[in-house]
A and B are shown apart, each in its own frame.
Chain A
Amino acid sequence: MTNNWMKRQRLLGYIFIGPSMLGVLLFFLIPAAYSFGLMFTNYKFMNPNVDFVGFANIARLVKDPMFYKSLKNTVIFLAAVPVSIGIGFIVAVVLNQKIYLKKLLRGIYFMPYITSGVAVAFVWMLLFHPKQGPINGLLRSIGIDNPPGWLSTTTSSMFAIDIIWIWFMLGYNMIIYLAALQEVSPELLEAAKIDGAKPGQILRKIIWPLVSPTTFLLLITGLIMTIKTFGIIQAITQGGPGSSTTILSLYVYQNAFRYYDMGYASTLSWALFVVILLITLVQWIGQKRWVHY
């Protein structure tokens, strides 16, 4: 009797997770395994002639200067994440106080996150225009004669993208922090105040450690999401000028869907996977030092 009941329970469980497992299997696991196989072939999209090439793609990757360039660009791109989290925290703390138009301001900060990426791209392109753009207009009016070229030079373009990304992620980081700040118990803050802690100390020694699980969550999800992003860069610069904004995910995309070189693109995407894995591992290990549950 109990045995039967257990069996039925188990079966029911499988039935419930079935549809989603089917989705994961069909749309994720099988394609992933398939791309792992492609890594060892010279498969070009459409082309029926496929040869097994062993480790040739990996050898090519190791020697490919564009791979290292894109890796470096990816690292610069990722730098936007902690900056955005930091600013998001400050904004959240400020908006958590009793200030005027709090709700409106929260809405405004969150706007970028729900705006269409292409629209975002075009607005920033106009803002960043080296000659007629309002940003450089402002800089010139306050006496800077040679404002940066932003997107239009190979040295500054990746940082310009960073600025856009920080701005884009800010609203999301802020909202999550706002929720976390609600959880901070007022008793702790009051106790600290009675003990004579200054506002800066409260922020650093009490609030920041208490929201550290949130910071950790934002850091992991932010880094993973950022490393996989390519749409915004594709819309703004297509990886240029030169190859100065070609990040790894964009390089995968170009190889796959511009050159149809699926074998090499698969190799690159597995390299991307290894990078994500390493970053996540480092964070899991590192979290013990600074995340307090």
Chain B
Amino acid sequence: MSKKTWFAGMTSLVIASGVLTGCSGNGNAVNTGAEASPSASAPITSGETVKLKMWGGVPPESGPQAVVDAWNKENPNIQVEYVRYVNDDEGNLKLDTAMMTGQDVDLFVNYTLSHTNKRIDSGFALDLSGFTDYNIEEKMGSDSENWKINGKFYGVPTTKSSYFVALNKDALDAAGLEVPKEWTWNELREYAVKLKTGDGYGFLQHIEPYADPLDSVLSQEGYTKADGTSKLDQPLVKSWLETLNGMMATDKSTPPLGEQLTSKMPVEQEFLSGNVPMLNIGAWLLRSSNNFTDFPRDFKIAFAPVPRLTEAASDYVTRGGLGDYISINAKSKKQAAAWEFLKWYADGGMAPMASGGRVPASKDADQATALDNLLGDKADTYDLDSLKYVMFENETPTYVRSLPQEVIDMRTQEYENYFLGTQSLDETIAKMVSRHNEFLKLNK
């Protein structure tokens, strides 16, 4: 195996370096491409078919194929093809390499600000302010502010992305617990203890939103202090670490992180099979919870917002707002056509995506249709009031995670060391701070 891996590794290295040499020659071309105004690109003339390629991370069968099929039927002049890339390191590398080497990428979906920033810096994401016929801010609401980079849009945030704690309503009812509309981590901790049965757990977390409570606090206060040093020693960071550690070690109401990581615990399945009654996750849960073939389920799912660390509810911001930031490749020659498609997509063309948990954000999209698509024929297996509350009605302000991947990783490594009992609480905070400071110094 390792021979194969080595070969694959070497090949990708070589491809990457080949790409680099190929690119250093026309570095200037990249820049001019980014500066060219979008309107200058070829207009669509009738009779000619424009072929677009859109790269996204959602499996085609979870919506995208239905979306492009619908569009292709209506618009014989502009035919869109959907290309899936897996939204992980390799997948993003594949997309970036495709753009570097000038393969056909006309539209691409960004899922994190970290990736978006890299693509903007390298001149691949088109500045959309050249298109004046669509007001992104007005359509998508004030949450779109989070996706403005240096005051400009380099893509259209298309979905409402919600993060929540999914609850086993039947288990809550049996224990006589309410579905909360706002709560703190300490309250969640009590729920977890009450809901836990025998050796089982009361609460699970998906790894992706694991550290969101930290970003919730720090995205508001800033990750750095006035003097430019790390603020990862904020007292609430400590209280998050202590709370979770207590749940793992003392209450045994949530799995120890080491066990969860190395067994690659399938959290969706644990929750949907009824083993664990609470799960901290996001809207993509719907992709599995609507699938009764692979995940048979005999209980109702209710939804609660992600709990907060701050005492006062008024100080709280939650992760979410908008997501699926779709950009146009600045080097594409078919920008006008891509823009036409993108507008249609954002204004409701994306409705079939809702079956995978992706609800359109545009105010012009039909929310009722979206909700129908979202729940399919499984509507009666959800607690609709709480679902609507966390997805549409909750007025808590939102943030989009903006921390660079390097910092996220070093932070993760340090809290893993803490939760695994390798280092003390104070050591953990001190290391987080010093490593973050080191990073800040390097990237001034």
Binding site for B on A (CB under 8 A): 27, 30-31, 34-35, 38, 43-50, 60, 65, 113, 115-117, 120, 125-126, 128-131, 149-155, 157, 168, 225-226, 228-232, 236-237, 240-244, 253-254, 256-260, 262
Contact = CB atoms under 8 A, between A and B. Distances in A.
Interface string B421-444: 110000000000001000000100
Interface string B248-261: 00000000111101
A48 B417 CA distance: 37
29 contacts: A27-B14, A44-B121, A45-B16, A48-B23, A48-B31, A50-B24, A113-B1, A125-B262, A125-B263, A150-B262, A152-B262, A153-B258, A154-B258, A155-B422, A228-B2, A230-B5, A231-B1, A231-B6, A236-B262, A237-B262, A240-B261, A241-B258, A241-B416, A241-B417, A242-B417, A242-B420, A256-B13, A260-B118, A262-B20
Contacts of A115: 1
Nearest to A152: B258
Nearest to A132: B263
B91 to A, nearest CB: 11
A65 B261 CA distance: 24
A250 to B, nearest CB: 11
B124 interface: yes
Interface string B26-41: 0100110000000000
A116 B2 CA distance: 9
* Contact residues on B (Cβ < 8 Å of other chain), bracket: 35 or more
B442 A152 contact: no
Contact of B2 (A153, A231, A254): A231
A226 B9 CA distance: 14
Q: Is the interface of B mostly helix, strand, loop or mixed?
A: helix
Contacts of A35: 17
B89 interface: yes
B132 interface: no
B119 interface: yes
Contacts of A149: 258-259
A127 to B, nearest CB: 11
A129 B6 contact: no
A108 to B, nearest CB: 17
A240 B1 contact: no
Contacts of B142: none
Given A117-B5, A152-B262, A257-B16, 17 more contacts: A46-B121, A48-B30, A48-B31, A113-B1, A116-B1, A117-B2, A149-B258, A152-B259, A153-B421, A154-B422, A228-B6, A231-B4, A232-B2, A241-B258, A242-B413, A258-B409, A259-B405
A243 B261 CA distance: 13
B30 to A, nearest CB: 5
A258 B442 CA distance: 17
Q: Which A-B residue pairs are the 4 nearest by beta carbons?
A: A231-B5, A117-B1, A152-B258, A46-B122
B442 A60 contact: yes
Contacts of A157: 262
B182 interface: no
A237 B412 CA distance: 14
Given A46-B96, A243-B413, A259-B406, A151 B262 contact: yes
A34 B17 contact: yes
Contacts of A229: 2, 5-6
Nearest to A116: B1
Given A129-B263, A262-B20, A48 B2 contact: no
A259 B406 CA distance: 7
A225 B1 contact: no
B420 A154 contact: yes
B106 interface: no
Contacts of A113: 1
Given A117-B1, A242-B417, A34 B93 contact: no
Nearest to B3: A225
B60 interface: no
Contacts of B257: 241
B264 interface: yes
B444 to A, nearest CB: 12
Q: Which of A30, A48, A126, A128 has the most CB of B within 10 A?
A: A48
Contacts of B16: 45, 256-257, 262
Interface string B385-424: 0000000000000000000011001000110110011100
A31 B258 contact: no
B178 interface: no
A225 B6 contact: yes
A244 B422 CA distance: 10
Contacts of B27: 48
B198 to A, nearest CB: 13
B20 A168 contact: no
Contact of A34 (B21, B100, B258): B21
B180 interface: no
B2 A241 contact: no
Interface string B220-242: 00000000000000000000000
A231 B20 CA distance: 24
Contact of A117 (B4, B30, B89): B4
Given A154-B417, A242-B414, A31 B2 contact: no
Interface in B261-289: 261-264
A120 B5 CA distance: 13
Interface in B286-300: none
A69 to B, nearest CB: 10
B4 A47 contact: no
Contacts of B6: 225, 228-229, 231
A31 B261 contact: no
B264 A125 contact: yes
A48 B122 contact: yes
B215 to A, nearest CB: 19
B9 A231 contact: yes
Contacts of A228: 2, 6
B123 interface: yes
A46 B420 contact: no
